[in-house]
Amino acid sequence: MTALEISNLSKSFGGLHIVRNVSFSVRSGERRLILGPNGAGKTTLFNLIAGDLSPSAGAILLQGDDISSLSTHKRARRGIGRTFQILTLFGGDTVLKNVLLAMLGRSRKRWRPFGFLESDAELRSGAMEILDRVMLAHIAGKRVAECSYGERRRLEIAMALAQAPQVLLLDEPLAGLSREERKTVHQLLVSLPRTLTCIMIEHDMDVALDFAERISLLQNGIQVVEGERDAVINDPRTKEAYLA
pLDDT tens digits along 106-161: 655 554 555 555 667 788 899 999 999 999 999 999 999 999 999 999 999 999 99
| 60, pLDDT greater than 80 | yes
Q: pTM for this one? A: 0.91
pLDDT mean across residues, the chain: 90
Residue 3 scores a pLDDT above 90: yes
Q: How many domains does the chain have?
A: 2
Say if residue 171 is in the same domain as residue 230.
Answer: yes
pLDDT class of 83 with cuts at 50, 70, 90: very high
| Per-residue buried b or exposed e for 34-55, using 16+ beta carbons within 10 Å of the residue's own CB | bbbeeebbbbbbbbbbbbebeb
Same domain, 46 and 3: yes
Does residue 118 sit in the same domain as residue 73? no
Domain membership of residue 131 as a residue range: 86-164
pLDDT band at 175 (very low <50, low <70, confident <90, very high): confident
Residue 52 maps to which CATH number?
3.40.50.300
